[in-house]
Chains A and B, each alone.
Chain A
């Protein structure tokens, strides 16, 4: 772990910016900053988004778990609950289907000149997160912790070494991607 590097706030801001630049570059090159490609995925006509995401998961899960096994990285799984993850996830999905971008690809869309992402998407997203901060105190009390399972990971749930799941998942995803390719999607 590069603990001293992690603690340098100004350097971290620059690293964040650089990682973002690469991320945006990759997203645009993948075509996933385009409304047509994203909506094509949601209409199940174009599997570009799923191909990009699943490939990133295969490479990322192997890489990050390798870093962890080498003592070079720590995991930061997000906590979840049925009340927050399922309801929030479905709401996110509805918004995703209407907007045709997700928060990250929307920023990329602005960078490639898509005005609907700039004047519709960014404005709407800012209003949405602002609304959420207003209703948060009530949600926190009544819904967000219903069916709470914390920051659980599958290896902890099944009480196995992470690699027991990392490798089969990678192979499963690769098999799925090959199936998508051969069936013509």
Chain B
């Protein structure tokens, strides 16, 4: 069981694992793996704490009800699974600012967290606008040969590569 404690596995082993996991999800749950809808449901749940039952009346939450479902549990599971993996390998550590960021832009958490917050906002709007993220479109959709997903993942990477190059080479 030594391999469970390794810091990094081959990307091909990991890819095979995720591919098989997708098959298990289709077989046992009749669902493709996805992540971003769970955030809409959570945001709806948080909103209803402040605004009560009216939230469920919003057009968007009629489509994606603010409740805990299969995918919501999956997203919680990701956090737990990554924690287990990192603990087993000794890779777990509280990191205020990632290395690649601090090497270029300094190690002030406020700057990095502020930028991450902005990125998260844009990504959140984009994910729901496109109807999926790197998991739902990028893996689950492309493996079903869905036209929408191949188009989406190409746009994800065009936008992502252009933005990262701009941030790291211009600023």
Q: Which residues of A are interface residues toward B (Cβ below 8 A)?
A: 1-2, 5-6, 12-36, 39-40, 42-44, 48, 51-61, 63-64, 67, 72-81, 84-100, 102-117, 119-133, 136-137, 139-140, 144, 149, 151-155, 157, 162, 165-166, 169, 177
In the complex, A95→B166 CA distance in Å? Answer: 13
Is the interface on chain B under 10, 10 to 19, 20 to 34, or 35 or more residues? Answer: 35 or more
A103 nearest CB across to chain B (Å) = 4
A54 nearest CB across to chain B (Å) = 7
Determine whether the beta carbon of B159 is less than 8 Å from that of A94.
Answer: yes
Chain A residues whose CB sits within 8 angstroms of the CB of B91 once the complex forms: 28, 112
Residue from A55, A77, A78 in contact with B16 in the complex, judged by beta carbons closer than 8 Å: A55
Q: Which residue of B has the minimal Cβ distance to A44?
A: B161
On whether A132 and B15 interact (CB within 8 A), knowing A6-B29, A43-B168, the answer reads no
Determine whether the beta carbon of B129 is less than 8 Å from that of A61.
Answer: no
Determine whether the beta carbon of A124 is less than 8 Å from that of B117.
Answer: yes
B77 nearest CB across to chain A (Å) = 2
Determine whether the beta carbon of A89 is less than 8 Å from that of B151.
Answer: yes
In the complex, A165→B148 CA distance in Å? Answer: 16
Q: Which residue of B has the minimal Cβ distance to A135?
A: B125
Determine whether the beta carbon of B43 is less than 8 Å from that of A129.
Answer: yes
Cβ of B160 under 8 Å from chain A: yes
A62 nearest CB across to chain B (Å) = 8
In the complex, A36→B114 CA distance in Å? Answer: 18
Chain B residues whose CB sits within 8 angstroms of the CB of A95 once the complex forms: 119-127, 159
Determine whether the beta carbon of A35 is less than 8 Å from that of B100.
Answer: yes
Interface of A is mostly: helix
Q: Which 5 A-B pairs have the closest CB atoms?
A: A93-B159, A128-B124, A20-B77, A124-B120, A55-B15
Determine whether the beta carbon of B94 is less than 8 Å from that of A64.
Answer: no
Q: Which residue of A has the minimal Cβ distance to B103?
A: A36
Chain B residues whose CB sits within 8 angstroms of the CB of A120 once the complex forms: 112-117, 119-120
Determine whether the beta carbon of B146 is less than 8 Å from that of A107.
Answer: no
13 A-B pairs (CB sep. < 8 Å): A17-B80, A23-B78, A52-B11, A56-B139, A59-B16, A72-B27, A93-B155, A105-B134, A124-B120, A128-B125, A129-B124, A133-B47, A140-B59
In the complex, A98→B105 CA distance in Å? Answer: 13
In the complex, A155→B9 CA distance in Å? Answer: 34
Determine whether the beta carbon of A64 is less than 8 Å from that of B23.
Answer: yes
Determine whether the beta carbon of A64 is less than 8 Å from that of B113.
Answer: no
Determine whether the beta carbon of A27 is less than 8 Å from that of B155.
Answer: no
In the complex, A115→B102 CA distance in Å? Answer: 14
Q: Which among A39, A107, A131 has the greatest number of chain B C-beta atoms within 10 A?
A: A107
Determine whether the beta carbon of B159 is less than 8 Å from that of A97.
Answer: yes
Chain B residues whose CB sits within 8 angstroms of the CB of A106 once the complex forms: 120
Determine whether the beta carbon of A73 is less than 8 Å from that of B27.
Answer: yes
On whether A13 and B68 interact (CB within 8 A), knowing A52-B18, A98-B122, the answer reads yes
Q: B115-159: contact bitstring with A at CB < 8 Å (1 yes, 0 no)?
A: 111111111111111111111111111111111111111111111
On whether A109 and B159 interact (CB within 8 A), knowing A29-B6, A102-B134, the answer reads no
